[in-house]
């Protein structure tokens, strides 16, 4: 473990030095790449430095206990030694978790797709609630969100809404949201006060760079048409809406939110690249199914992952059996405790899997 930590410390120093060079600072793309790598190593380096400080303190306490005759000093050294041993143990465990190989996609920006499921109009309203929750969460984290496409209903819901989120480690943070979300509440249209259950599916996809996923012109068919709003009425007098069909896979992406055909085409291609990259990742993970079972953030779209219960004011995440009675805060974007708990559980499962694998002859 310590060889790994020394290598990380060395790489951290190399990046810091490289970023200080004028020619690097004047290259925004390269500078941004280095910034992301530096950010990914920072917590490991800071934790390792804390560990070394604690280790140094333990050595000093040991020296006092071996060579001092002062009773008061010895008592203080014993107390300090016990405190430092506890800190060393905690930091050692934290370093083990931090050194678990990271998903290379964790540092990517993401494309999020929310679709109304069972429940008709109420499901569409719930999809809109989830969209608001995630965009609020992005805003809190200082991330940038951008609408890529939507299919809205007449009373404020979404049959489908697709948007991107850009920032530090967005996919590594947001990937735990993939799956079926369930809401239990009394719809505004319910006259008898009965609680209804509706669902929406969330797909969180790592955003793909053009160099990662090449889309050949001959592999796509692009159709243009006039944008339409709720109920099918035309909202534009020009053919600005774009539908792209990826012929090898049959994937279809539509975008009509922008008035510019060029912008709609660019957004549709962004979504298509993300879906193609996600498809490749899903296929690869199916080949390593045992490792996939050790992931809380597996991205399984068919799994019911969370319930939002309005009458009881609670949110329950079924993967880690966590219930929080903070429904309003969570729907307003406060996902820190939920996602933090999911990340810890995911890391613990991966560490357990890694230890079992390394101990297998």
| Cα angle 56, 62, 68; round to 5 | 130
pLDDT at 298: 55
The residues of the chain that CATH labels 3.30.70.1660 are 110-349
Mean pLDDT over 17-46 rounds to 89
Q: What is the pLDDT of residues 151-175, one digit of tens each?
A: 988 888 999 999 999 998 899 999 9
What does the radius of gyration of the chain's CA atoms come to, in whole angstroms?
25
What's the pLDDT at 311? 95
**How far, in Å, CA of 289 to CA of 282, rounded?**
10
pLDDT of 234 strictly over 50: no
43-82 b/e (C-beta count within 10 Å ≥ 16 → b): ebbebbebbeebeebbeebeebeeeeeeeeeeeebeebbe
Would you give the DSSP letter of residue 237? S
Give the lowest-confidence range in 43-52, 201-210, 292-301, 308-317: 292-301
> pLDDT, tens digit, for every residue of 56-68?
999 999 999 998 8
- Say if pTM beats, i.e. exceeds, 0.85: no
Query: What residue spans in the chain does CATH classification 1.20.58 cover?
Result: 2-98
Distance, CA of 302 to chain centre = 18
Better-predicted residue by pLDDT, 204 or 192: 204
So what's the architecture of 2-98 in CATH?
Up-down Bundle (1.20)
Class of domain 110-349: alpha beta
14-32: burial string, b at 16+ Cβ within 10 Å, e else: ebeeeeeeeeeeeeeeeee
* Exposed / middle / buried, residue 234 (Cβ in 10 Å: 0-12, 13-18, 19+): exposed
> Per residue in 64-80, pLDDT tens?
999 888 889 999 999 99
Q: Tell me which H or E stretch contains 95.
A: helix 71-98
The mean pLDDT value for 335-351 works out to: 89
């Amino acid at each position: 473990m310590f060889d790994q930590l020394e290598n990380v410390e060395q790489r951290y120093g190399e990046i810091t030095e490289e970023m200080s060079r004028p020619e690097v600072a004047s290259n925004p793309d390269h500078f941004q790449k280095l910034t992301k790598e530096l950010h990914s190593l920072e917590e490991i380096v800071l934790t390792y430095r804390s560990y070394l400080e604690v280790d140094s303190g333990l050595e000093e306490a040991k020296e006092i206990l071996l060579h001092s005759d002062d009773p008061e000093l010895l008592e203080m050294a014993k107390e300090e030694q016990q405190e430092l041993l506890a800190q060393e143990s905690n930091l050692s465990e934290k370093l083990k978790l931090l050194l678990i190989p990271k998903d290379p996609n964790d540092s990517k920006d993401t494309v999020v797709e929310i679709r109304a499921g069972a429940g008709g109009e109420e499901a569409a309203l719930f999809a809109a609630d989830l969209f608001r929750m995630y965009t609020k969460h992005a805003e809190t984290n200082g991330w940038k969100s951008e609408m890529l496409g939507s299919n809205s209903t007449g009373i404020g819901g979404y049959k489908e809404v697709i948007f991107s989120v850009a920032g530090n480690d967005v996919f590594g943070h947001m990937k735990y949201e993939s799956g079926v979300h369930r809401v239990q509440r009394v719809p505004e249209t319910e006259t008898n006060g009965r609680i209804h259950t509706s669902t929406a599916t969330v797909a969180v996809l790592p955003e793909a760079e053009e160099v990662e996923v090449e889309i050949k012109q001959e592999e796509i068919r692009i159709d243009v048409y006039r944008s339409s709003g709720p109920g099918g009425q035309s909202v534009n007098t020009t053919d600005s809406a774009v539908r792209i069909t990826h012929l090898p896979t049959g994937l279809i992406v539509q975008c009509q939110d922008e008035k510019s055909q060029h912008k709609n085409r660019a957004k549709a291609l962004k979504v298509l690249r993300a879906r193609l990259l996600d498809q490749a990742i899903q296929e690869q993970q199916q080949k390593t199914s045992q490792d996939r079972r050790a992931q809380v953030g597996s991205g399984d779209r068919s799994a019911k992952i969370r319930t939002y219960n309005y009458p009881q004011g609670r949110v329950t995440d079924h993967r880690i059996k966590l219930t929080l009675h903070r429904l309003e805060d969570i729907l307003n974007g406060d996902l820190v405790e939920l996602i933090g708990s999911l990340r810890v559980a995911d890391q613990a499962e991966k560490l357990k899997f890694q230890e079992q694998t390394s101990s297998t002859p």
